[in-house]
């Protein structure tokens, strides 16, 4: 019985010894702000955005944590509301003041985690009093990676969105990215605000994106002090018109740190061996004393 108990204690310690350490940090694409430029040649006063979950999983208006509190919003919600189109698709309608041609408005959406990773825009529409004027491919981004490994920002152009008045591709994009030691709130994803917080941008080479294709880049592994990755980039037509400027942020979410079970396993194993050996010696001595 004594030998059996000792064996079980040592076996349990070996299990602890061989368990891998937990990797807690992961990247969550939560925030996306964007300047939408009126390229239509006429006045518009509404903007519609259709979002879908790329995995086909459920997506509803309840998955949105908040909106940028600017043009077209009221009491924290878009004036035109958010509507569930089907199980994985929603439409957001911002209804604001007149936007003249060659001007832009600033919009933003924040998703509850982990929805931000799999959501992207499939259609964007400039409208006037609810009538669609021109469509825009939003070239939505997706994040991929963890803090310990390279983090990828992937931009995808939808191939099946070709309405009348669309600013058709190819498009030119030039991204800059930075890792920072703070989690930027939705209201902070603005040109001047981000530039005041980030002093060391990495500027990527210019890329041309055609309908249906994708462009991507990957960062080096992040430092332990980094809490977010930010990316900004304009979407420009081949004629030189700026259509959208994106400001995206992915937060590095870290759970409560846990000590490596490998290190604890060594300590537990040694302690159990010492305790078991002392117990065996003590029992044997008692047995010898009883016999004498």
DSSP letters, 88-149, are: TEEEEEEEEEEE-TT-EEEEEEEEPTTGGGTEEEEEEEEEETTEEEEEE----EEEE--TTS
- What is the spatial distance between Cα 134 and Cα 166, in angstroms, rounded to a whole number? 5
Residue in this structure with the two tokens 């006045």, named with its chain if needed: 43
Q: Is the same domain home to 177 and 240?
A: yes
CA neighbor of 274 nearest in space, from 13, 20, 17, 15? 13
Note whether 169 and 272 are same-domain residues.
no
Same-domain pairing of 139 and 279: no
pLDDT one-digit tens code per residue, 208-241: 999 888 899 888 888 888 888 999 999 998 888 8
151 and 283 share a domain? no
211 and 285 assigned to the same domain: no
- Asked if 90 and 154 sit in the same domain, the reply is yes
Q: Mapping DSSP to helix (H, G, I), strand (E, B) and coil, where does residue 193 land? A: helix
Contact criterion met (CB below 8 Å) for 277 and 285: no
* Same-domain status, 119 and 32: yes
Cβ neighbours of residue 95 closer than 8 Å, sequence gap 6 or more = 45, 46, 72, 78, 79, 80
**Band of the pLDDT at 251, cuts 50, 70, 90?**
confident
Same domain, yes or no: 103 and 215: yes
For residues 47 and 129, is the Cβ–Cβ distance under 8 A?
Answer: no
Print the domain residue range for 183. Answer: 26-253
Write the pLDDT tens digit of every residue in 109-168: 999 887 877 888 889 999 999 999 999 888 777 888 877 778 888 888 877 777 777 777
Element (H, E) at 184: none
Q: Return the pLDDT at 254.
A: 55
Helix (H) or strand (E) holding 52: strand 44-53
Residue 289: pLDDT band by 50, 70, 90 thresholds?
low
Q: Which helix (H) or strand (E) holds 170?
A: none
Same domain flag for 91 and 11: no
Same domain (yes/no): 206, 73:
yes
Total count of domains within the chain: 2
**Tens digit of each residue's pLDDT (9 = 90 or more) over 55-75:** 889 999 999 999 999 999 999
């Amino acid at each position: 019985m004594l030998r059996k108990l000792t064996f079980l204690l040592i076996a349990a310690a070996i299990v602890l010894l061989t368990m891998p350490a937990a990797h807690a940090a992961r990247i969550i694409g939560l925030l996306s702000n964007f300047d939408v430029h009126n390229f239509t040649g006429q006045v518009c006063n509404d903007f519609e955005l259709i979002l879908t979950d790329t995995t086909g999983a459920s997506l509803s208006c309840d998955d949105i944590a908040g909106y940028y509190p600017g043009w077209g919003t009221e009491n924290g919600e878009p004036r035109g509301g958010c509507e569930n189109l089907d199980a994985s698709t929603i439409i957001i309608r911002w209804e604001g003041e007149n936007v003249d041609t060659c001007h832009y408005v600033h919009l933003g959406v924040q998703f509850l985690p982990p929805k931000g990773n799999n959501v992207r825009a499939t259609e964007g529409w400039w409208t006037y009093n609810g009538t669609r004027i021109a469509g825009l491919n939003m070239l939505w981004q997706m994040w991929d990676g963890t803090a310990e490994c390279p983090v990828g920002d992937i931009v995808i152009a939808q191939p099946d969105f070709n309405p009348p008045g669309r600013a058709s591709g190819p498009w030119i994009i030039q991204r800059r990215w930075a890792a920072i030691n703070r989690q930027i709130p939705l209201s902070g994803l603005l040109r001047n605000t981000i530039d005041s917080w980030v002093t060391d941008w990495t500027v990527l080479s210019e890329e041309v994106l055609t309908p249906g294709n994708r462009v991507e880049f990957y960062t080096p592994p992040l430092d332990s002090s980094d809490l977010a990755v930010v990316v900004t980039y304009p979407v420009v037509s081949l004629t030189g018109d700026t259509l959208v400027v994106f400001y995206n942020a992915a937060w590095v979410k870290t759970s409560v740190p846990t000590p490596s079970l490998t290190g604890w396993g060594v300590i537990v194993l040694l302690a159990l061996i010492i305790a078991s050996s002392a117990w065996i010696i003590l029992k044997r001595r008692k047995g010898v004393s009883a016999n004498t």
